[in-house]
Amino acid sequence: MSKGLGAFVTGIATVLLVALSVYAQASETPSLKSELLRLAHDWEHVKLQVSDRDDQERQMASLAQRAGQIGKQYENIPDPIVWIGIITSEQASIANDNGSPIKALELAKRARDLLEEVEKINPETMDAGAPTTLGVLYDRVPGFPIGFGDKARARYYLQEAIRSAPNGLDANFFYGDFLYKHGEQSEAVRILERALTLPELSNRPIWDKSLRAAIQHILSEIQIRH
């Protein structure tokens, strides 16, 4: 876990002006669904398998550009916008780790602003990708006067994610992780143990394995401490 802004799983290089009230769904556009799956696989590779932080920063910036292009091509669909937010929040984490906290905070703000627009209209999109990522951002970004971090808002968004995607592995993991970090161990165990029973993300095996390993680690830590 990185310091300061923290490690975001959840991410934007540009702010896209879109008509949020006329969103369609990516599942109705096979070509977009395929493009987003490739983007997800590449994001997982860069996040989890590229060890050099400078190289990781360059590759994540390239992914942000690609996500922005997809968003412009499908500007009436929310899924690409969520991915832009996820990738940009990851850029913020990397920038912070690389000693650029000001750049990191600006990236985090961009991700927050765009994801909040999606959350207002389509909180359920991508298994509640917007409120989940917002919860992580508000939890891990420093609070006032440095940043916009706010534990109460983090809890609100993570609980909304659970309501919007009760069977979403990401939503359950990040809410459980939040509870664990803030000392609510029994509820964290309940949420995380349930998360392990959810169906595997068969089209994203690397990410699925990573989340389940993280869940097992937290549960082991709680067991050791109690």
**What integer pLDDT is reported at residue 84 of this predicted model?**
97
- Give the whole-angstrom CA distance, residue 107 versus residue 90: 9
Domain ranges of the chain: 1-164, 166-226
pLDDT along the chain (226 residues), means of 10: 38 28 54 95 97 96 97 92 97 95 97 97 95 97 96 98 97 98 97 97 95 98 88
DSSP state of 198: S
Predicted local distance difference test score (pLDDT) of residue 41? 97
- Domain 1-164 sits in CATH at 1.25.40
Distance CA 77, CA 32 (A): 9
User: Rounded to whole angstroms, how far apart are CA atoms 162 and 159?
Assistant: 5
Q: Given this model, what pLDDT does residue 225 score?
A: 84
